[in-house]
Amino acid sequence: MIEQMLQNAYHWIELHGLRIVLAIVILIGGQWLILLIKRYFLRKMHKKGTDDTLKPFLTGLIAAVLQIGLVLGVIQFLNIQMTIFAALVGAIGVAAGLALSGTLQNFTSGVLILLLKPYEAGDVIVAQGQTGEVSSVQLFNTIIITADNKYVIIPNSKLSNEVIINQTRSSNRRIDIELKLSYAYSLEQVKPLILKEAVDMTNLTREPPAVVSVSGLEPDGWKLVVYAWVDSDLYDETRFELHERVIAALKQGGIKLPGM
């Protein structure tokens, strides 16, 4: 049976060689036209101020629909009977069903993400062990760019079913610094040194103010915690600066940290 099918296919190709060449030209031209249509819709969406998160998803969806239409058009041009084509697709579908189920799950998850908006393009999120800025939400995955410029692709189904930390939604974030000091030093010695640095830093908010307090006691020393609030957009640079200032202030005040 398979041999007969191959033989029939060979005769069909031999008979329709020119039509096949034209079909290939149509496919190539169609791909080029689809690219132009995608660019057109992108420009339109940009002019209308469409959400940046929606743009890649919608253009991807438009392209997918056009691709299907192009393939069906080429099939009709080649005079392939749709019943034969449907049977072929059915046979392939049985084999590829499991793989496609995951793809469809990613697609529906992408739709849910766009509707519920747990994050948008430009948000900094923590998900799947990765921290980065959302570049785009696409048909089947989300692209994030990490601080060290890694291009991370995460399936949408993973993001819709698991915990996501969105670090951008709140206007302010808290910087936490933990220190361990010898019992030779008191809170009254250390606290003013740290609070002075916090007050001098213009990036830190005045409300709520910075807090310095004892967080625990251990046999070889006491633990100190510093809480300070900052605008979310300035979090990283301010956190680095506050650490440096605290270390320098303690050193200048004669306070020794373990290992220093």
Q: Determine the Cα–Cα distance for residues 158 and 166; give it in Å rounded to an integer.
A: 15
Residue 111 pLDDT > 90: no
25-29, 98-102, 158-162, 223-227: lowest mean pLDDT where? Answer: 98-102
Give the list of residues 6+ apart from residue 151 with CB closer than 8 angstroms, or none: 135, 143, 145
How confident is the model at residue 81, as a pLDDT? 57
Residue 65 pLDDT > 60: yes
CATH class entry, domain 172-252: alpha beta
Residue 98 pLDDT > 50: no
Q: Which one is predicted more confidently, 181 or 64?
A: 181
For range 64-75, the mean pLDDT = 79
**Residue (of 152, 56, 155, 58) closest to 102 by Cα position:** 155
Query: Where residue 64 falls among pLDDT bands split at 50, 70, 90?
Result: confident
Q: Identify whether the C-beta of residue 38 lies closer than 8 Å to the C-beta of residue 62.
A: yes
Q: Which one is predicted more confidently, 71 or 87?
A: 71
Residue 128 pLDDT > 60: yes
Q: Determine the Cα–Cα distance for residues 69 and 77; give it in Å rounded to an integer.
A: 12
DSSP per residue over 131-181, as a string?
EEEEEEE-SSEEEEEETT--EEEEEHHHHHHS--EESSSSSEEEEEEEEEE
Q: Which one is predicted more confidently, 91 or 34?
A: 34
Query: Where residue 106 falls among pLDDT bands split at 50, 70, 90?
Result: confident
How confident is the model at residue 149, as a pLDDT? 94
How confident is the model at residue 12, as a pLDDT? 60
Give the list of residues 6+ apart from residue 176 with CB closer than 8 angstroms, or none: 225, 226, 227
pLDDT tens across 182-237, in order?
A: 888 888 889 999 999 888 898 899 888 999 999 998 888 899 999 999 998 899 99
Domain limits of the chain?
Answer: 172-252
For range 127-156, the mean pLDDT = 92
How confident is the model at residue 17, as a pLDDT? 63
Count H helices, E strands: the chain? 7, 8
Q: Chain-wide mean pLDDT for the chain? A: 82
pTM for this model (two decimals): 0.62
Residue 241 pLDDT > 50: yes
For range 163-187, the mean pLDDT = 90
Q: Which one is predicted more confidently, 58 or 118?
A: 118
Query: Where residue 93 falls among pLDDT bands split at 50, 70, 90?
Result: low
For range 142-153, the mean pLDDT = 94
How confident is the model at residue 165, as a pLDDT? 93
